[in-house]
């Protein structure tokens, strides 16, 4: 379910529409809904990271929720660049609606060493984030 079709549609602080997708900034988390057919790379990620610092400030304490409502590809090893540049997330939640999405989650888990969970619904992911202490 897309953010705009959910009970959270009036809860976000900011929505940013980029060529790569829609990004919703909430108090404790960002929900990313990447567009169909894009290839999510480090270059795309840097734009989203810049927006996160702009929104939350330098001392970011936020979880990233990838709401995979569309099919797209990503370069999982680019997560290494994220950590190499000393960026930080409290946790990552992936909402996958099909088997391909689940396989991508398994691959991404290899490159992440923080709290990382897979969910079948946006609601479950947000409930998990709300339960985290940070």
Measured distance CA(66)–CA(80) in Å, rounded: 17
- Contact of 124 with 118, CB cutoff 8 Å: no
**Complete edge-to-edge strand list for the sheet that includes strand 115-119:** 14-18, 21-25, 29-34, 63-68, 91-96, 115-119
pLDDT in tens, 17-65: 999 999 999 999 999 999 999 998 889 999 999 999 999 999 899 999 9
3-state SS, one letter per residue, for 15-58: EEEECCEEEEECCCEEEEEECCCCEECHHHHHHHHHHHHHHHCC
CATH number, domain containing residue 118: 3.30.750
Q: Which domain holds residue 38?
A: 3-131
Q: Quote the number of domains for the chain.
A: 1
Measured distance CA(106)–CA(111) in Å, rounded: 10
pTM of the full structure = 0.87
């Amino acid at each position: 379910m897309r953010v705009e079709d959910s009970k959270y549609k009036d809860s976000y602080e900011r929505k940013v529409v980029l060529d790569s997708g829609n990004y919703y900034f909430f108090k404790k988390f960002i929900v990313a809904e990447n567009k169909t057919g894009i290839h999510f790379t480090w270059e795309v990620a840097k734009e989203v990271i810049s927006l996160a610092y702009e929104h939350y400030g330098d001392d970011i304490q936020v979880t990233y929720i990838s709401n995979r409502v569309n099919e797209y590809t990503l370069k999982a090893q680019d997560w290494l660049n994220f950590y190499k540049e000393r960026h930080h997330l409290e946790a990552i939640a992936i909402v996958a609606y099909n088997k391909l999405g689940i396989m991508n989650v398994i691959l991404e888990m290899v490159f992440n060493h923080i709290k990382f969970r897979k969910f079948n619904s946006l609601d479950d992911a947000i409930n998990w984030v709300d339960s985290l202490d940070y």
